[in-house]
């Protein structure tokens, strides 16, 4: 007579309690689940029946010229110059033949830390780094395609994909920093190995763009096998990415499409689909067998339980041991049936969904060509302020991801270095701090932070030393950076450190048809890219009147070289800096034309600086743009940046004057020894509580008491509007 389910459970509990004290029996049924990926993430399910009805043929050649790498907020980005022709085609195979292919061209190489749960890869593909090859379609749709390659460490990596990007380079470590990557004939970049002998899982995902954090649809092609790199290479990349956040994993759909690449010109064919029907038949047979074994295990367990309950007061150890063994057999049989049932259910779901699956059914929708206009500023020699753009896809798809801004394949921002950015005074905001209040004034500060005692600000500013600067020739501009922020911009009570300064000739901005002979751009790049800010200093040819700051840069580096600059105080680059404040400027939202085309809040000082004719000539001689914005036509020009690491003395690393206190360089800030520094406008503003700075109105030039107490210590100065600062 068989026992009821309730009686069986009660006896099993009794056996478990007795077995816990039996010799040689312990921890028989451990049910802890290990390695769970969490409930929020669903792994890509590789359905072998979902073979993508497309042919992917690639044309990727070895690349043997230097590249440029920059550190963005979240990844190390290696831009692809125009002479990199790496691309692949997706050709749809229809019943009536082959349709026109979609061509995807490489835009950049994206190195990032893996997501907390690796993006789209199968769970067994654990890896320490992800390489994303970012492509964009150029034959009509404008879609993006991201090829994601998981990378792991190997003691003998064989082919190391990342070695050419790291071995001969000092990778950037600060957001916005750019460094050359010395890819050469001896160590070429071999991206073709990404595609060889491996399949990819394809699905549609969304990537965040720089357009108000909107998203754009993108093909995601996950490589089904890892690639190897050496431990030193990985450590160098991770050190560069030390302070960048991990990416948020993209949640793939339950089913993906399998794509098998082939080299262009070779034999391409669709991979053979696995017959899921035969697998379902086999799985059903296994389930039937496991079900029979489960019934036998239940009968054996019931027999042991009947024997125990009939003589509960005198049970032998052999009877207990037999009952425990049959209990474990029952558990194993139940687990086998459960696994077989899930296999049958999964295969049945895959077959049903495969019948209804349609390739590219969830691709972003395309619309008819649309026209949009922008009336902030236009790149033109005329005063026209309307820029017209045509798009053949929806705005969400046309949006450019932040890591593609300024790519040489997307020239909407940087399509003509000779054409200035004309600022229409009717469209931009003109700021007059004498009327708007001190909160709108731009304060230029040498210190890295406001002193705890504002009364000590003037003395601390005078005693502070100028930062040690280095100057890199990026081909079309000189980039000045230091061991600490070049200076600090104080506006609206916020301290904004200046990350670097770019010098270009001629200037990028043109106001009222008047283009500056040179331009210095001070750029603040915070962790939040939406808060970026730039100050443009327009410089005119002053004849024999030299720019004091540039006088300390006698030996300018050539393209690809870096020179050390000492004794040059950034506070002497513009008249407004010697006073420490600027109250008249133009403000608008735009882009950095030569720095990845990033969004930025522009502040263009109305007061112009000066530069001598000789200094302009020297800048024009060294600022000759290379063959590509992101590469150098002459790799040997980058050798001076590599050889110092091998302790080779180079004349290209030039030392200017000895380091001197900034007070000895900026004449306007000199004070006599033994006397208290005179108060200036900045120290007066800093002495106010931050909440009161916004309400403190300047009365300079109106004969008020404020004029007497806030006048700069070098005496009154007037701008071309007659305002006194």
Q: Would you state the pLDDT for residue 43?
A: 35
The domain boundary, picked from 328, 354, 380, lies at: 354
In angstroms, the CA 447 to CA 669 distance is: 14
Q: Would you state the pLDDT for residue 47?
A: 58
List the structure tokens of 347.
């295969």
Are residues 147 and 296 part of one domain?
no
- Tell me the CATH number at 334: 1.10.287
Are residues 284 and 228 part of one domain?
no
Are residues 449 and 594 part of one domain?
yes
Are residues 318 and 172 part of one domain?
no
Structural domain including 538 reads 426-628+651-710
Are residues 434 and 466 part of one domain?
yes
List the structure tokens of 41.
């993430």
Read off the pLDDT of residues 261-283 as tens digits, 9 standing for 90 and up.
999 988 888 877 777 788 889 98
> Among 647, 653, 708, 704, which residue's Cα sits nearest to residue 680?
708
> Among 389, 384, 388, which residue's Cα sits nearest to residue 423?
384
Please compute the mean of the pLDDT values over residues 677-701 and round it to a whole number.
39
Q: Would you state the pLDDT for residue 57?
A: 93
Read off the pLDDT of residues 294-313 as tens digits, 9 standing for 90 and up.
999 888 888 887 777 776 66
C-beta separation of 622 from 203 below 8 A: no
Are residues 688 and 621 part of one domain?
yes
Q: Would you state the pLDDT for residue 381?
A: 33
More confident call, 520 vs 675: 520
Q: Which pTM does this prediction carry?
A: 0.46
Are residues 286 and 246 part of one domain?
no
Please tell me the least confidently modeled range out of 190-199, 422-431, 714-723.
714-723
The number of domains in the chain is: 3
Q: Has residue 252 got a pLDDT over 50?
A: yes
Q: Would you state the pLDDT for residue 192?
A: 92
In-domain check, residue 689? yes
With 0-12 / 13-18 / 19 or more C-beta atoms within 10 angstroms meaning exposed / middle / buried, residue 229 is buried
Please tell me the least confidently modeled range out of 457-461, 680-684, 699-703.
699-703
List the structure tokens of 523.
């750029």
C-beta separation of 320 from 18 below 8 A: yes
With 0-12 / 13-18 / 19 or more C-beta atoms within 10 angstroms meaning exposed / middle / buried, residue 398 is middle
Are residues 536 and 454 part of one domain?
yes
Are residues 119 and 203 part of one domain?
yes
Are residues 160 and 285 part of one domain?
no
Q: Has residue 410 got a pLDDT over 80?
A: no
- Tell me the CATH number at 474: 3.10.200.10
List the structure tokens of 539.
């410089």
The domain boundary, picked from 354, 370, 400, lies at: 354
% the chain with pLDDT above 90:
6
Q: How many residues make up the chain in this entry?
A: 725
Are residues 493 and 345 part of one domain?
no
57-71, 158-172, 401-415, 665-679: range with highest mean pLDDT: 57-71
Are residues 190 and 66 part of one domain?
yes
Residue with tokens 């309730």: 6
> Among 493, 558, 554, which residue's Cα sits nearest to residue 689?
493
Strands (E), 175-246: 178-181, 200-208, 215-223, 227-229
Say which DSSP state 498 is in.
-
Q: DSSP alpha helices (H): ranges in 449-607? A: 457-463, 575-579
The domain boundary, picked from 215, 237, 263, lies at: 263
């Amino acid at each position: 007579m068989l026992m009821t389910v309730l009686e069986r459970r009660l006896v099993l509990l009794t056996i478990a309690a007795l077995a816990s004290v039996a010799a040689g029996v312990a921890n028989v049924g451990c049910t802890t689940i290990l390695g769970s990926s969490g409930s929020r993430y669903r792994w890509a399910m590789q359905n072998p029946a979902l073979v993508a009805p497309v042919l992917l043929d690639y044309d990727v050649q070895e690349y043997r010229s230097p590249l440029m790498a920059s550190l963005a907020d979240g990844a190390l980005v290696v831009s692809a110059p125009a002479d990199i022709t790496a691309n692949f085609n997706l050709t749809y195979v229809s019943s009536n033949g082959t349709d026109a292919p979609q061509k995807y061209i490489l835009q950049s190489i994206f190195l990032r830390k893996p997501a907390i749960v690796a993006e789209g890869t199968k769970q067994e593909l654990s890896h320490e780094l992800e390489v994303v090859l970012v492509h964009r379609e150029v034959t009509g749709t404008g879609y993006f395609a991201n090829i994601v390659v998981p990378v792991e460490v190997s003691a003998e990596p064989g082919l190391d994909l990342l070695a050419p990007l790291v071995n001969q380079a000092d990778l950037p470590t600060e957001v916005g920093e750019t460094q050359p990557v010395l890819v050469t004939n001896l160590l070429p970049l071999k991206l073709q190995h990404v595609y060889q002998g491996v399949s990819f899982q394809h699905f549609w995902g969304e990537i965040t763009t720089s357009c108000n954090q909107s998203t754009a649809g993108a093909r995601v092609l996950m490589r089904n096998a890892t690639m190897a790199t050496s431990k030193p290479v990985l450590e160098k990349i991770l050190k560069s990415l030390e302070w960048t956040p991990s990416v948020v994993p993209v949640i793939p759909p339950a089913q993906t499409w399998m794509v098998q690449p082939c080299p262009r010109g070779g034999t391409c064919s669709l991979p053979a689909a696995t017959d899921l029907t035969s697998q379902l038949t086999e799985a059903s047979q296994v389930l039937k067998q496991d079900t029979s074994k489960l019934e036998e295990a239940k009968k054996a367990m019931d027999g042991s339980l009947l024997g125990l309950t009939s003589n509960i007061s005198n049970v032998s150890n052999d009877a207990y041991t037999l009952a425990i063994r049959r209990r474990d057999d029952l558990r194993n049989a139940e687990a086998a049936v459960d696994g077989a049932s899930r296999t049958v259910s999964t295969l049945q779901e895959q077959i049903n969904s495969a019948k209804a699956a349609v390739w590219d059914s969830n691709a972003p929708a395309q619309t008819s060509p649309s026209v949009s206009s922008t009336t902030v500023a236009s790149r033109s020699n005329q005063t026209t302020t309307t820029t017209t753009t045509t798009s053949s896809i929806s705005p969400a798809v046309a949006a450019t991801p932040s890591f593609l801004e300024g790519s040489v394949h997307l020239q909407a921002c940087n399509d003509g270095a000779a054409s200035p950015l004309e600022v229409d005074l009717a469209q931009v905001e003109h700021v007059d701090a004498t009327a708007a209040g001190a909160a709108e004034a731009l304060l230029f500060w040498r210190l890295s932070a406001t002193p705890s005692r504002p009364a000590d600000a003037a003395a601390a500013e005078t005693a502070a030393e100028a930062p040690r600067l280095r100057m890199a020739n990026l081909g079309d501009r000189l980039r000045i950076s230091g061991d600490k922020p070049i200076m600090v911009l104080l506006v609206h009570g916020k301290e904004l450190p200046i990350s670097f300064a770019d010098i270009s000739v001629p200037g990028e901005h043109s106001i009222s048809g008047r283009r500056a002979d040179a331009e210095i751009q001070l750029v603040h790049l915070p962790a939040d890219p939406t808060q970026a800010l730039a100050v443009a200093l327009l410089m005119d040819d002053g004849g024999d009147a030299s720019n004091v700051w540039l006088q300390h840069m006698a030996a300018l580096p050539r393209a690809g070289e870096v020179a050390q600059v000492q004794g040059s105080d950034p506070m002497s680059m513009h008249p407004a800096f010697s006073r420490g404040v600027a109250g008249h400027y133009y403000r608008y939202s735009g882009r950095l034309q030569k720095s990845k085309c990033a969004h930025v809040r522009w502040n263009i000082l109305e007061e112009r600086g000066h530069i001598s004719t000789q200094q302009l000539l020297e800048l024009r001689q060294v600022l000759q743009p290379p063959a590509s914005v992101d590469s150098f036509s002459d790799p040997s020009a980058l050798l001076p940046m590599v050889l110092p690491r091998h302790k080779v003395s180079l004349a290209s690393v030039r030392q200017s004057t000895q380091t001197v206190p900034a007070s000895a360089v900026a004449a306007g800030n000199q004070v006599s020894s033994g006397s208290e520094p005179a108060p200036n406008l900045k120290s007066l503003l800093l002495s106010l509580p931050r909440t009161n700075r916004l309400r403190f109105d300047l009365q300079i030039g109106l004969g008020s008491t404020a004029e007497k107490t806030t006048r700069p210590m070098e005496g009154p100065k007037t701008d071309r509007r007659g305002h006194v600062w």
